[in-house]
Amino acid sequence: MVVLVICGGGNGAHVLAGIASSNPNADVRVLTLYADEAERWTKAMEGNDFVVTVNNQDKSQTILKNKPRLVTKDPALAANKADMIVFTVPAFAHRQYLDALKPHIRPGTVLVGLPGQSGFEFEVWTAWGDLAKQCSIMSFESLPWACRFTEFGRAATVIGTKENLAGAAWYGSVPPKADPTLVLQGCLGPHPVLLTRGALLGITLMATNGYIHPSILFGRWHKWDGNPVNEPPLFYNGLDEFSAQTMSSVSDEILAVASSLMKQRPQVDLTNVAHIWQWYLRVYADDIGDKTSLFTTIRTNAAYSGLTHPTTKTDDGKFVPDFKHRYLMEDIPFGLLVSKGIAEVAGVPTPTIDSVISWAQQKMGKEYIVNGKLAGKDVSSTRCPQRYGLTTVDAILGL
């Protein structure tokens, strides 16, 4: 029996709760600290089924009707004898869960970020201190599904399941009871296939929202004349060559960081860091119409059909870009800036990343980079390693 704790109360938490509870060998508990979600979810399940509808690739549907054993806001109850704790909440909420869980964690526990997002391990090492060194950490590049809950605490839908999901593990001094990839795979079912390999820092460097969204916003709007536009432009399928080039250069710089770190610490495997174009070819293999280049790959990705730039409407019915959208407000401090911080530790210059961040911070009203260095006053609200005092190569790799 595996004791699995799911942290969160949103879309991913609903779906994972239903799918994992279908495994008779899993004792599934949900911990949600947010507002009154635990009470509402518990009440919603009373006398009702908890239904997860999975839309399969062959257009069939699987209906699961398995409830988690417990939904609670009490970390002691949730974490009692836990083997694996899975975070399925946006990154800004991670710290709250880490602090609440810390007194109830036993050595050997596996903590999973699903997704972890950039700098997950830095946050865990800092929040849990010595305890973290006796636990293991896994982080995955995304959620396994595109999903939504349709009725809170009662029903959720899996719109699509990924074929595979890249992740990595870092092992502390007390080994887990069983191979954590196999345990998690057992809770997810056959898909997505979990590809756990390489160093955890590779997943931090491959948190692709941090490259994709800010690069496209920078490319489209950095020379904007301030005049509203008639329609929100297509975000991906309307990509221009300059934005694709920007994204590619950002990705090249991140590859250079990985390569430099592997030279500095030859025992570390960061070959899980790939160029963003390779990433697209793996993740969206069946959706891309023209695989000639990164530019054509994104423009012809059917999974992105109809998605537009985040905008707000003006009084006269036109549109201006929304620079307070999560594509900057989350993807800079919890994404690109973390890579910049790692580059700084590795001693690798990042001129394109610097240009994107310098433009973005102005639009966001934040100060991160000053004279090319991560010295701005708002670094303290990011997940860059410097914010946690992790300023050496060994420290960011957890060696």
Partners of 147 in beta bridges: 158
Among residues 34 and 277, whose Cβ is nearest to ligand NAI? 34
Q: Which of 14, 213, 222, 325 is catalytic?
A: 213
Binding segment toward ligand NAI, per CB under 6 A, in 8-16, 43-51, 184-192, 245-253: 8-16
Residue in the block written with tokens 């950002």 = 250
Q: What angle do CA 42, 135, 100 make, to 5 degrees?
A: 40
Binding to ligand NAI by residue 89, rule CB under 6 A?
yes
User: What torsion, rounded to 10 degrees, do the Cα atoms 130, 97, 75, 89 define?
Assistant: -140
125 half-sphere exposure, CB direction, 13 A CA radius: 21
Binding to ligand NAI by residue 115, rule CB under 6 A?
yes
Binding to ligand NAI by residue 386, rule CB under 6 A?
no
Query: 302 in helix, strand or coil?
Result: helix
Residues 24 to 43 in contact with ligand NAI, rule: CB under 6 A: 32, 34, 37
CB of 217 to ligand NAI, least distance (A): 17
Taking CB under 6 A as the criterion, the residue among 3, 17, 112, 147 binding ligand NAI is 147
CB of 331 to ligand NAI, least distance (A): 10
Among residues 26 and 283, whose Cβ is nearest to ligand NAI? 283
Among residues 118 and 126, whose Cβ is nearest to ligand NAI? 118
Binding segment toward ligand NAI, per CB under 6 A, in 4-12, 78-86, 249-257, 380-388: 4-12
Is 213 an annotated catalytic residue?
yes
Residues in the chain: 399
Q: How far apart are CA 242 and CA 280, in angstroms?
A: 18
CB of 10 to ligand NAI, least distance (A): 2
Residue 265, phi-psi category: left (phi > 0), alpha (psi -120 to 50), beta (remainder): beta
Binding to ligand NAI by residue 210, rule CB under 6 A?
no
Binding to ligand NAI by residue 350, rule CB under 6 A?
no
Among residues 132 and 147, whose Cβ is nearest to ligand NAI? 147
CB of 143 to ligand NAI, least distance (A): 4
* Distance between first and last Cα of the chain: 32
Total of chain residues touching ligand NAI, rule CB under 6 A:
19
Q: Is the peptide bond before 75 cis (omega within 30 degrees of 0)?
A: no
CB of 236 to ligand NAI, least distance (A): 15
Binding to ligand NAI by residue 188, rule CB under 6 A?
no
Measured CA distances, 67 to 3, 157, 183 (Å) = 14, 15, 19
Residue 222 burial class via C-beta count within 10 angstroms: exposed 0-12, middle 13-18, buried 19 and up: middle
Question: Alpha-carbon torsion 221, 222, 223, 225, what sign?
Answer: positive
CB of 229 to ligand NAI, least distance (A): 27
Binding to ligand NAI by residue 160, rule CB under 6 A?
no
Taking CB under 6 A as the criterion, the residue among 143, 256, 307, 320 binding ligand NAI is 143
CB of 253 to ligand NAI, least distance (A): 24
Measured CA distances, 390 to 348, 387, 397 (Å) = 16, 7, 10
Binding to ligand NAI by residue 11, rule CB under 6 A?
yes
Residue 29, phi-psi category: left (phi > 0), alpha (psi -120 to 50), beta (remainder): beta
Report, as residue numbers or ranges, the catalytic residues: 213
Binding site for ligand NAI (CB under 6 A): 8-13, 32, 34, 37, 88-90, 93, 96, 115, 142-143, 146-147
